[in-house]
Structure 1
Amino acid sequence: MHHKEYLRCHPRSKVRCLDILGIDGDIESLTSFVGRLAWHHSIKPSVLVCELIDPGKSPGFCNLEIASGFNSMTLKTGKIIGRVAAITGEPIDTVASMTFFHLHDQIEPSARGLISHTKKYCPQCYCEDVSSACRYDRLAWSLQGVTHCKKHNCLLLDKCTHCNASQPYLSTKCEIGFCHYCEQALFSAYPKHESVSGLEKSEVWASLVRSDFDLENGYHSDSIQVVLNEVARQFYPLSVGAFADFVNSDRHSAMGWLSGEMKPALISIQRVFDRLEIPWTNVLTGRLNLKEIVEMTQKAISREGVIERAVLRKENPRVRDQDEPDVCMLPAKRKRNAALSQKIDRYLDQIIGGSVEPTSRARIAAQFCVSVGYLESLFYLKVKRISEIYNHHLAERSDRRLDALRSEFIASLKVTYQAGNPPTWKNVCQHFHEDMLKRYTKTEISNVRKEILPKFFLFYRRDKAELAESY
């Protein structure tokens, strides 16, 4: 009885859990943890992922989707965190600390520019792992901006020094620390020491790692929308356009950030707070409170003299500083960008309203000569809604096509049956329209054939048996 009550309160995990390696900035990444977990149970990581963590995953996931799916901050990352916590029995906050999911509410969910597509590693860290416990990949290594190891001041490697091949985040052949292709030791490589500037940049990016994150309460009392609104309020009595011009952004994007219609991209956050001379990683990770950010913003505004110059230009329009750019040249591009944003916005509203037939994001972006990433960064909510409308439209169109194909198929079967021929595929094809094979794909015809032909075979045999009994 005691054991039943204990199991009811503490559900059993599906696999034997391992201790998470590393602390603070050197904490282990989720891909490394999943790889060690798989090899500990003597199975390949691809089997563990495809069977328990992310069922239905394609075999080629190790090189591409694993980077933005496991260690990142996307919606899929949240689902994977829940699955890993369920099969291992670990608290969900502990699993989330091995990812960047704490940035989910701060920047746009696509996470463009955050995670590197190939794995990077430090040979010296691997050597030290062998003597201490076991080798593992640091979460900071998966960041695109981290190029140096802050512990050994050396350049991170992204290829095997033996075969010069890029390494996947999860290897299906060997454990962590060995090449996926030639299976040679990666920790035998000689480290390379580079410039100090790259090391400083890597330290800034590595500060995005937070191992003390609470998934329920978080560590933020202020979202990025609240922070940007307070920053823009410091430009009073100037308009939002003054804030957008100061941080080198267009007005439409700035209005979207302040209203909460869209979240800023990672590169936009870097540009905004670098212009204000505020550490952007400290803003995202909550190391700076709102009061400190406002004080630093006020210092940047007073140092540049933005409000004073605006008031002076209002009193005397002919007055202009020598270092101020030509007003006839610079705003032209911004005006074009604003006009293009308004044109795209109206077109998206027409699709949502139903006056224009829905289409894919790629075609919308190609129509206005912009990238899909640019489209999502400006109109994330509307693009997401249009994707749902487009998928529903495709499903309805597919159903209509299949209904028409079934009707033609049944008509051909009836003609074949009335002619006294058995309903074989060869006899049925003789009564098809000439352009039928051009209007429908082979997959659609094959699916309808598997659905309808067996039923007519049963009907044909039963009718033939009844006819024989009557004689």
Structure 2
Amino acid sequence: MENKKTGSGSTALYNIEPIGIGTKSVESFTSYLMRTAYEHNITLGNLFNKLIIPQLKKGYLTRSSLYGGNRLYEGAKTINGFLENSYDLVKVMETLTGRNDLVNLTLFNLKEFIPVRNLLKESLSWCPKCISKWKRTREVLHYPLIWHIQPVTVCIEHKCLLESECSACNKKVDILRRESITGFCSNCFAPLDNSQLSEISDVELELQKFFLKNIEDLMTLNKLEILNGNYTCGLADSLSSIKENSFSGNLTRFSKFLNVPKTTLRYWINGVNKPPLESLLTICFKLNIKILDLLFEYDSLGVRIFQINDSLATNTKKIIRKPMDYSIVESKLVEILTNEVPISMSKSAEIVGHDRRVLYRNFNEYCKQISQRYSDFIKEKSSQRIDLLKTEINIAFNTLLTDGVYPSRRKMEQVINKSGLLKERVLQDYWKTLLTKNGFEE
């Protein structure tokens, strides 16, 4: 997929086309900001400081750009939402690029229906297989908006959990940083398609399929009808109708069925506040209804769900914690320590069948050894990767010199076929060393 750029003297930035507008895979606005910076061969920090922040005319951001500070970046998760900072940024970017559709890269159209609480993730999550596929097929690397939504934890296409920590440095990846590049860790600049994949259970996969289908329905609502007021949220009436028709007006039974406190449910029914998105999705999953019906079609909702099985509605079976057999757990941990390929403590906890915190509490030394072994393994893999890439850089450098072409960053990345490669600090320093050795001034 090629970026469309239009040369225009009236705009400060290229008119770069967003990815997937109007589809379930629409690109996030933070991803678009990163791509815009990269296409102009500047850092995201410079894009903000030189062009965006002066247009925003907000004193605290101006001071931050002049004297340093991370306030904008620390609050970056809300940029993909519908708060004032998101809307202001969208309008500035539309002015700078000459586009009029960037609001579709946020959740702005859901402002009246979904509360902001627990809506967006604090840090980045991604599917390594998606990023790997886009690299292989030479598509533009980007982060879909749906990856930022908190209840979404799975890539349905590849049936794997979305990753949330870089496999090279074991750190979470911030939504935005001054030198962020799509497809690379913002801490160590390692590629994110090298992450260790985590499998999911069939039960979790089915739940996530339901969640994603309903979130996609929300994200692709007819925007014009929303603006014209044709969608009127009737959530409180829907919940009240369900309580009356399916639980005989019994709030206690309804709250037990949903597994939410009775007071919380009463507030929802009375319209005092709105359930977070994950709670709405869970309600829909348990009642086997669509989220659009729960939000907007409350008049007929009660009739259609009236047949809820009474035994299901009163089912309050408690979760029984699995007792720990200390000798078996210890033997499993010892076995993990002797594995040829080290694994993380998170994966170890899955294999053992007990929570990681419980294992650390009861088998602290084993856990620390497993964690340290895995950390050393990752560092060694990272070191091997760097050595391999340095070899590729050296070959590309000499190839360009032989062809009489200046080995610029862009040319080097084109030859190696890895965009953003020389943004990684250690590799950038190696490239600069080669330039100096060959008499070039970078």
Cα deviation, 1:413-468, whole Å, max 9, x if unaligned, reads xxxxxxxxxxxxxxxxxxxxxxxxxxxxxxxxxxxxxxxxxxxxxxxxxxxxxxxx
1:146 equivalenced with 2:152 (yes/no): yes
How do residues 123-272 of structure 1 correspond to structure 2 at under 5 angstroms? 123-130=128-135, 131-189=137-195, 191-207=197-213, 208-209=215-216, 210-214=219-223, 216-217=227-228, 220-232=231-243, 234=245, 238=249, 247=258, 249=260, 253-270=264-281, 272=283
Distance change (3 Å), C-alpha of 1:246 and 1:46: same
What residue is the counterpart of 1:60 in the other structure? Answer: 70
How do residues 388-399 of structure 1 correspond to structure 2 at under 5 angstroms? none
Cα deviation, 1:298-323, whole Å, max 9, x if unaligned, reads 122x64598xxxxxxxxxxxxxx9x8
Normalised TM-score (structure 1) = 0.52
What residue is the counterpart of 1:317 in the other structure? Answer: none
Distance change (3 Å), C-alpha of 1:32 and 1:231: same
Cα deviation, 1:127-159, whole Å, max 9, x if unaligned, reads 232324311011111122222211222232222
What residue is the counterpart of 1:119 in the other structure? Answer: 124
CA shift, 1:193, in A, is 3.3
AA aligned to 1:112 is R
Q: Distance in 1 between matches of 2:233 and 2:292?
A: 15
Distance change (3 Å), C-alpha of 1:267 and 1:178: closer
Distance change (3 Å), C-alpha of 1:43 and 1:124: same
What residue is the counterpart of 2:418 in the other structure? Answer: none
How do residues 241-320 of structure 1 correspond to structure 2 at under 5 angstroms? 247=258, 249=260, 253-270=264-281, 272-280=283-291, 283=294, 289-290=297-298, 293-300=301-308, 303-304=310-311
CA shift, 1:77, in A, is 3.2
Q: Distance in 2 between matches of 1:177 and 1:291?
A: 46
What residue is the counterpart of 1:96 in the other structure? Answer: 103
Residue 24 of structure 2 aligns to a residue whose secondary structure is: helix
CA shift, 1:63, in A, is 5.5
Q: Distance in 1 between matches of 2:247 and 2:160?
A: 46
Distance change (3 Å), C-alpha of 1:235 and 1:295: closer
CA shift, 1:192, in A, is 4.0
Q: Distance in 1 between matches of 2:82 and 2:118?
A: 12
What residue is the counterpart of 2:79 in the other structure? Answer: 70
AA aligned to 1:101 is F
Q: Distance in 1 between matches of 2:89 and 2:243?
A: 37
Identity of aligned residues (%): 21
CA shift, 1:233, in A, is 5.0
TM-align CA RMSD: 3.7
Q: Distance in 1 between matches of 2:94 and 2:182?
A: 22
How do residues 43-58 of structure 1 correspond to structure 2 at under 5 angstroms? 43-49=42-48, 51-52=51-52, 55=58, 56-57=60-61, 58=64
Q: Distance in 2 between matches of 1:48 and 1:263?
A: 37
What residue is the counterpart of 2:90 in the other structure? Answer: 81
What residue is the counterpart of 1:311 in the other structure? Answer: none
Distance change (3 Å), C-alpha of 1:194 and 1:252: closer
Residue 26 of structure 1 aligns to a residue whose secondary structure is: coil
CA shift, 1:21, in A, is 1.0
1:19 equivalenced with 2:17 (yes/no): yes
CA shift, 1:259, in A, is 4.3
Q: Distance in 2 between matches of 1:164 and 1:150?
A: 24
Q: Distance in 1 between matches of 2:316 and 2:33?
A: 54
Distance change (3 Å), C-alpha of 1:257 and 1:15: same
Residue 16 of structure 1 aligns to a residue whose secondary structure is: coil
CA shift, 1:197, in A, is 2.9
What residue is the counterpart of 1:37 in the other structure? Answer: 36
Distance change (3 Å), C-alpha of 1:76 and 1:190: same
AA aligned to 2:227 is E
Contact 1:120–1:157 (8 Å) recurs in 2: yes
Residue 227 of structure 2 aligns to a residue whose secondary structure is: coil
Q: Distance in 2 between matches of 1:192 and 1:265?
A: 26
Q: Distance in 2 between matches of 1:217 and 1:22?
A: 24
Contact 1:235–1:242 (8 Å) recurs in 2: no
Q: Distance in 1 between matches of 2:268 and 2:152?
A: 27
AA aligned to 1:114 is L
Normalised TM-score (structure 2) = 0.55
Residue 80 of structure 2 aligns to a residue whose secondary structure is: coil
CA shift, 1:112, in A, is 2.5
- State the number of aligned residues: 292
Q: Distance in 2 between matches of 1:122 and 1:248?
A: 31
CA shift, 1:120, in A, is 1.2
Unpaired runs of 5+ in structure 1?
1-9, 307-320, 326-471
Q: Distance in 1 between matches of 2:180 and 2:278?
A: 36
Task: Between 176-185 and 221-230, report the one with greater CA deviation.
Answer: 221-230
AA aligned to 2:183 is G
AA aligned to 1:165 is K
How do residues 291-370 of structure 1 correspond to structure 2 at under 5 angstroms? 293-300=301-308, 303-304=310-311
Distance change (3 Å), C-alpha of 1:262 and 1:75: farther
Distance change (3 Å), C-alpha of 1:259 and 1:144: closer
CA shift, 1:226, in A, is 4.0
Larger radius of gyration: 1
What residue is the counterpart of 1:468 in the other structure? Answer: none
Contact 2:246–2:305 (8 Å) recurs in 1: no
Contact 1:102–1:213 (8 Å) recurs in 2: no
AA aligned to 1:17 is N
Contact 1:121–1:157 (8 Å) recurs in 2: yes
AA aligned to 1:227 is S
Distance change (3 Å), C-alpha of 1:227 and 1:132: farther
Q: Distance in 1 between matches of 2:195 and 2:129?
A: 9
AA aligned to 2:114 is I
Contact 1:120–1:142 (8 Å) recurs in 2: yes
CA shift, 1:291, in A, is 5.4
